[in-house]
Amino acid sequence: MKEYMCKKWEEIHQDKPLFISLVSLLTLAVIFIVWGFVINTPAYSVYADGKEVCKVKKVKEVEQILAEIKEEKEGQYKTETALITKFEFCRTFASKDQVLAEHSLKKQLEKIALFNVKGAAIVVNGNPQVFLASRKEAERVLSRIKEEGKDLEEGEKLLELAFEENVTIKEELVPANKIVSPDEAYMLIKTGTESPEKYIVKEGDSLWLIARRNNMYVDDIMRANNLKSEYLQPGDELILVKSKPLINVIARVEGEKIEEIPYETKIVIDKNVPYSVRVKQKGQNGEKKVVYVAVKKNGVTQDREIKQETIIKKAVDKIVVKGTKVIVASRGSSTVRAGKLIWPVYGTITSPFGARGGRHTGVDIAARTGTPIKAADSGTVIFAGWQGGYGKFVIVDHGNGIVTRYAHCNKIYVSTGQRVNRGDVIASVGSTGNSTGPHLHFETLVYGSFRNPLNFLR
Ligand SMILES: [Zn+2]
């Protein structure tokens, strides 16, 4: 064994190339050490929550700057703060330009270091959603949201106002970087996003066009911007956001309003003149006082119930005398009564009856694609299919000369000849045919003439 080792040692001495490589290895090591100490300098790697963020010369530098930042935050939030980011240090070598100078180190640490401060969280259904500096600020934001949600019309008084969600304020330690200003909190709650896109209204713009271009809904834009009407002026600033409010406001209101009673049309058959049609008496709308209770969500009526109706002025029947050979839509005498029809879809009326210079033959009710359309009353489907500009179109005959029509549907669920009951889902809202966005174009015809659906809806 010993012999073997000696022999080996001899061999090494004799082996010149190996000797040379040993020397060069030593030289390399010296160069490396010199390079390490002269060009590189001993430093510390700084880890924030386990992630390397920078290199510093001394640990003390970091500690001092963190103490400075903490003091600044305490001044800013007027409350004690606690550092929540965990800092760790590790010895290393670094070239001089890798080691951060003090001023850039502070900037870096300000970005990284998270502090908890005493704040207030708005808790929605158990989830802390929005953080503010104080309970007072949170309360102010919530009362602003609530106040706006009631949106009373003339003659309406508030019965009840509440958040749909379970909303509470909780004082707690909150990461300082999550605290938002009351305005930001308001926006966040109303739209569900912190940084909504803005749009400046241009000449010739309309809500429909803006909604269409941004793949949005008119009622979303109206809600996010608290618009009371569709009227826009160039230069107006709109927030474009697909609003998904974090908190919804439900208001129950009682209202009193004068509504029109549309006149009825009576048909009298004159056997003596088979082909003539003449108006014997002109119709005249009446007036009634309606007392109702409505439920509004974020200011938009969801449901309305008539409590009391008082006739102020009776309507005067229109009397039409027709010959026996004239085909009339009537099935017996007409008993059109206001409030007989139910809303096929609840939503904002984005274009009233008679708009567009009197050419608008129905009302446009804004609603999302797919919203169920209900039959306004019981009747028979007399058309279900595509009809030109109306797109997918349903017509329901309710008898007594009353027909309702539903245009621009996305899907139709009934077929011609089918009996439907009031409230049955007959189609869904879409934007088929000559339409610039999802909505229901709803028409009411009485003996073949277009009438304002609002006079019949309850
Ligand atoms: Zn329309």
Distance 296 CA to ligand 1 centre (A): 24
Distance 318 CA to ligand 1 centre (A): 27
Distance 219 CA to ligand 1 centre (A): 15
Distance 359 CA to ligand 1 centre (A): 10
CATH of the domain at 450: 2.70.70.10
Helix (H, G, I), strand (E, B) or coil at 180: coil
Per-residue pLDDT, 38: 65
Asked, for residue 21, whether it belongs to a domain, the answer is: yes
Per-residue pLDDT, 405: 95
CATH of the domain at 197: 3.10.350.10
* Below-50 pLDDT ranges, the chain: 1-12, 327-338
Asked, for residue 310, whether it belongs to a domain, the answer is: no
Do 348 and 409 reside in the same domain of the chain? yes
88 token code pair: 């760790």
Do 224 and 142 reside in the same domain of the chain? yes
Do 340 and 448 reside in the same domain of the chain? yes
Do 110 and 154 reside in the same domain of the chain? no
Per-residue pLDDT, 4: 42
Asked, for residue 341, whether it belongs to a domain, the answer is: yes
Per-residue pLDDT, 426: 95
Do 166 and 82 reside in the same domain of the chain? no
Do 98 and 136 reside in the same domain of the chain? no
At which of 205, 240, 275 does a domain end? 240
- Domain span holding position 220: 120-240
Asked, for residue 300, whether it belongs to a domain, the answer is: no
Distance 314 CA to ligand 1 centre (A): 30
Distance 439 CA to ligand 1 centre (A): 8
Do 365 and 439 reside in the same domain of the chain? yes
Domain count, the chain: 4
Do 167 and 180 reside in the same domain of the chain? yes
Per-residue pLDDT, 15: 54
* Residue tagged 């009446």 (tokens): 286
Q: How far apart are CA 354 and CA 334, in angstroms?
A: 23
Distance 353 CA to ligand 1 centre (A): 8
Closest CA to 145 of 251, 301, 281, 277: 251
Per-residue pLDDT, 412: 92
Do 369 and 409 reside in the same domain of the chain? yes
Do 187 and 204 reside in the same domain of the chain? yes
Distance 360 CA to ligand 1 centre (A): 6
Asked, for residue 385, whether it belongs to a domain, the answer is: yes
Q: How far apart are CA 58 and CA 304, in angstroms?
A: 71
Per-residue pLDDT, 194: 62
Distance 441 CA to ligand 1 centre (A): 4
At which of 187, 207, 240 does a domain end? 240
Per-residue pLDDT, 257: 85
Asked, for residue 455, whether it belongs to a domain, the answer is: yes
Distance 201 CA to ligand 1 centre (A): 23
Asked, for residue 295, whether it belongs to a domain, the answer is: no
Judge whether 163 and 247 are in contact, CB under 8 Å.
Answer: yes
At which of 89, 115, 141 does a domain end? 115
Distance 51 CA to ligand 1 centre (A): 59
Distance 202 CA to ligand 1 centre (A): 24
Asked, for residue 418, whether it belongs to a domain, the answer is: yes
Contact residues for 447 (Cβ-Cβ < 8 A; gap 6+): 265, 267, 320, 328, 329, 330, 334, 401
Do 33 and 100 reside in the same domain of the chain? no
Do 191 and 211 reside in the same domain of the chain? yes
The conformation of residue 39, written as its DSSP 8-state character, comes to: I
